[in-house]
């Protein structure tokens, strides 16, 4: 009997990398220095290969900054085997440490890493969720992420997206916590609660990573009590991101879960918050933190310390696809973030994301990220769209 031997996949060499700004329909963020539609806050990245296969990723950064970062990162990638995302991403981190860990370089590495996982899946014929550890679930609940508004409009916004099939909602930023008016804060939350579907869920994001956040620990403690009384599922970013000791105190005292971590990058910055017990829920953003490779390490570290993982996903269709795959590949992940009304999420792909009758999103099962960007749609928002899709 002749023994069959499996053949290793031949290398798939990286031949080019492109970063392209998204602009024209950037969604408002509720920031004190508000995002304008023409601002670039998200970027798309393409990694081209000698096999004619392109992987796509997304970075949470101004596209001009991503293009500048790519000038530093591309020489470290060209000629590398695209089927080794974790090794290549670590190479990029290690060789750019001198520029400063975090910020634009790390955000752009995040997009490259996502694109490399996309390529690995396309070459092997497997979805990223299988490659990242296996599928614990085939669908997951999205929570619709909406800006806070005045109470009357807040209720109307919840109702509008409720009719689209969403059953979980997160409201945040806007006027909440910024007017020294606890009655207004509570009225906004009450208005949102009144429009939830039966059995629906409300989450609240203070947005304390905004510029010059005015509140501290005592405000967070009082507000946590108010939110708990309304049955809110978690209190996100209630304190400035660097206030580790205050987060530890708040988490020990609050009657509802405390969430945070969306502005941190790489696992090193998360370690003290997880090991000290600062969060009930940790929220790394795959388009900032270092990509799927780093996101998975953080999520598994959190699991070892009994901390729940829910990815922060205020980004693009590619970021959502990455979050969906990681939600499938990890145990106990029951939510993904879905921006309400963002063109960069709803209007970049050939087939839009669709809620099923239970208000859930299917985990893509096609190879790689399992979604297909539509070049014509992308061209509406990315001036360099053609370069993204040219074969390397």
Is the predicted pLDDT of residue 386 greater than 60, yes or no?
Answer: yes
Q: Are residues 172 and 120 in the same domain?
A: no
Q: Are residues 327 and 212 in the same domain?
A: yes
Q: Are residues 247 and 111 in the same domain?
A: no
Which domain covers residue 25, as residue numbers? 14-128+374-389
* Helix axes of 103-124 and 85-95: crossing angle, nearest 10 degrees: 160
CATH of the domain at 43: 3.30.390.10
The answer to whether residue 8 sits within a structural domain is: no
251/238 Cα distance (integer angstroms) = 10
> Residue range 223-233: average pLDDT?
98
The answer to whether residue 70 sits within a structural domain is: yes
Q: Are residues 163 and 212 in the same domain?
A: yes
Q: Are residues 88 and 163 in the same domain?
A: no
Q: Are residues 191 and 81 in the same domain?
A: no
Q: Are residues 110 and 208 in the same domain?
A: no
> Residue range 307-336: average pLDDT?
97
The answer to whether residue 98 sits within a structural domain is: yes
SS (H, E, C) the chain: CCCCCCCCCCCCEEEEEEEEEECCCCCCCCCCCCCCCCCCCEEEEEEEECCCCEEEEEECCCHHHHHHHHHHHHHHHCCCECCCHHHHHHHHHHHCHHHCCCHHHHHHHHHHHHHHHHHHHHHHCCEHHHHCCCCCCCEEEEEEEEECCCHHHHHHHHHHHHCCCCCEEEEECCCCCCCCCHHHHHHHHHHHHHCCCCCCEEEEECCCCCCCCCCCHHHHHHHHHHHHHCCCCCEECCCCCCCHHHHHHHHHHCCCCEEECCCCCHHHHHHHHHHCCCCCEECCECCCCCHHHHHHHHHHHHHHCCCEECCECCCCHHHHHHHHHHHHHCCCCCEEEEECCCHHHHCCECCCCCCCCCCCEECCCCCECCCCECHHHHHCCCCCHHHHHCCC
Is the predicted pLDDT of residue 1 greater than 60, yes or no?
Answer: no
Residue 285 to residues 13, 26, 116, 140, 319: CA-CA distances in angstroms?
28, 18, 17, 17, 8
CATH of the domain at 149: 3.20.20.120
Q: Are residues 111 and 154 in the same domain?
A: no
The answer to whether residue 94 sits within a structural domain is: yes
Q: Are residues 295 and 238 in the same domain?
A: yes
Q: How many domains does the chain have?
A: 2
- Judge whether 269 and 290 are in contact, CB under 8 Å: no
The answer to whether residue 302 sits within a structural domain is: yes
pLDDT tens digits, 340-377: 999 999 999 999 999 999 999 999 999 999 999 999 99
271/249 Cα distance (integer angstroms) = 17
Q: What per-residue confidence (pLDDT) applies to 3?
A: 44
Q: Are residues 255 and 276 in the same domain?
A: yes
Q: What per-residue confidence (pLDDT) applies to 7?
A: 60
pLDDT tens digits, 136-170: 999 999 999 999 999 999 999 999 999 999 999 99
The answer to whether residue 275 sits within a structural domain is: yes
Q: Which residue has the higher pLDDT, 118 or 97?
A: 118
Q: Are residues 310 and 357 in the same domain?
A: yes
pLDDT tens digits, 178-200: 999 999 999 999 999 999 999 99
The answer to whether residue 39 sits within a structural domain is: yes
Contacts 24+ apart (CB under 8 A), 151-160: 151/184, 151/187, 151/188, 151/190, 151/191, 152/191, 154/188, 154/191, 154/192, 155/191, 155/192, 155/194, 155/195, 156/195, 157/340, 158/191, 158/192, 158/195, 158/196, 159/195
The answer to whether residue 110 sits within a structural domain is: yes
Q: Are residues 248 and 340 in the same domain?
A: yes
């Amino acid at each position: 009997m002749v023994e069959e031997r499996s053949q290793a996949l031949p290398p798939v060499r990286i031949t080019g990398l492109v970063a392209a700004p998204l602009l024209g329909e950037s969604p408002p963020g509720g920031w004190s220095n508000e995002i304008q539609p023409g601002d670039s806050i998200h970027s798309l990245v393409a990694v081209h290969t000698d096999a004619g296969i392109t992987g796509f990723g997304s970075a949470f950064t101004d596209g001009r900054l991503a293009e500048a970062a790519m000038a530093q990162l591309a020489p470290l990638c060209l000629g590398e085997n695209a089927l080794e995302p974790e090794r290549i991403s670590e190479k990029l981190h290690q060789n750019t440490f001198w520029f400063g860990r975090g910020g634009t370089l790390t955000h752009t590495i995040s997009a490259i890493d996502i694109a490399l996982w996309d390529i690995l899946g396309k070459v092997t014929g497997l979805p990223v969720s299988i490659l990242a550890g296996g599928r614990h679930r085939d669908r997951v609940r999205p929570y619709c992420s909406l800006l806070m508004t005045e109470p009357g409009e807040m209720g109307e916004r919840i109702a509008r997206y409720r009719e689209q099939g969403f059953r979980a909602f997160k409201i945040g930023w806007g006027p909440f916590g910024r007017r020294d008016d606890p009655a207004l804060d509570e009225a906004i939350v009450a208005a949102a609660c009144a429009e939830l579907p039966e059995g629906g869920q409300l989450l609240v994001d203070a947005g304390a990573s905004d510029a010059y956040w005015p509140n501290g620990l005592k405000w967070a403690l009082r507000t946590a009590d108010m939110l708990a009384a309304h049955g809110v599922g978690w209190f996100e970013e209630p304190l400035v991101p660097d206030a580790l000791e205050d987060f530890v105190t708040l988490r020990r005292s609050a009657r509802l879960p405390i969430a945070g971590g969306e502005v941190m990058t790489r696992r090193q910055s998360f370690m003290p918050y997880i090991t000290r017990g600062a969060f009930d829920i940790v929220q790394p953003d795959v388009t900032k933190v270092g990509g799927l490779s780093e996101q998975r390490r953080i999520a598994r570290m959190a699991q070892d310390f009994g901390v729940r993982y829910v990815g922060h996903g205020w980004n693009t269709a590619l970021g959502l696809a990455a979050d969906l795959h990681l939600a499938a590949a990890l145990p106990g992940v029951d939510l993904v973030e879905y921006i309400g009304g963002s063109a960069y999420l709803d209007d970049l792909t050939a087939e839009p994301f669709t809620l099923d009758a239970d208000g859930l999103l299917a985990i893509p099962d096609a190879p790689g990220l399992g979604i297909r960007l539509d070049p014509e749609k992308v061209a509406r928002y990315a001036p360099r769209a053609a370069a993204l899709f040219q074969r390397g």
